[in-house]
């Protein structure tokens, strides 16, 4: 199934695309006037120059790039970040430097990946009790390490 997404590209880069035929995410690139320095344990919102209009029932999830996180410590603290279908502002990626070294971000660097996902909205039914399961209320490691 193909989903039509409207996009305005105010960056100097091509539109986000899938790097391989099996890629779930499209790389997002930094759209900067000059290099950006992120000190250890700092965070900032990096612009991409992209503005999208998603169909109702879809979100864009912003996720870290695994190699970038491993090699430089650059990650996304609110992962996955959500771009809602009614948001019309520029997509900015909140990045955090989780390393002890300075991370330099340059114009055009691939800083995150974006995955489009369909979602369902729910209608709550308030009740006095919910069903029981074998697991019950066990959480946070209750099923083993």
* pLDDT > 90 in the chain, percent: 89
Local structure of 70: helix, strand or coil? helix
**Residue 40, token pair as written in the block:** 């250890």
Which residue segments constitute the domains of the chain, with CATH numbers given? 6-118 (2.70.40.10)
Whether pLDDT at 49 is above 70: yes
Q: What is the pLDDT of residue 2?
A: 82
What is the Cα–Cα distance from 145 to 137, expressed in whole angstroms? 17
Provide CB contacts within 8 A for 114, sequence distance 6+.
16, 25, 26, 27, 28, 60, 61, 62, 63, 83, 91
- Which pLDDT tens digit goes with each residue over 116-143? 999 999 999 999 999 999 888 888 887 7
CA angle 37, 91, 103 (to 5 degrees): 15
What is the Cα–Cα distance from 127 to 134, expressed in whole angstroms? 21
- Which pLDDT tens digit goes with each residue over 77-110? 999 999 999 999 999 999 999 999 999 999 999 9
């Amino acid at each position: 199934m193909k989903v039509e997404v409207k996009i305005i590209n105010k960056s100097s880069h091509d539109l986000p695309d899938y790097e391989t035929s099996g890629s779930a995410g499209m790389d997002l690139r930094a759209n900067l006037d000059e290099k950006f320095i992120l000190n250890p344990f700092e965070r900032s919102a990096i612009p991409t120059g992209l503005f999208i209009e998603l169909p109702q029932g879809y979100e864009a999830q912003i996720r870290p790039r695994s190699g970038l996180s491993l090699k430089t410590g650059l990650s996304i603290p609110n992962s996955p970040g959500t771009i809602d279908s009614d948001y019309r502002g520029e997509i900015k990626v909140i990045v955090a430097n989780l390393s002890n070294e300075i991370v330099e971000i340059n114009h055009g660097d691939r800083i995150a990946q974006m995955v489009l996902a369909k979602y369902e909205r729910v209608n709550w039914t308030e009740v006095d009790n919910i069903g029981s399961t074998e697991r019950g209320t066990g959480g946070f490691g209750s099923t083993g390490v």
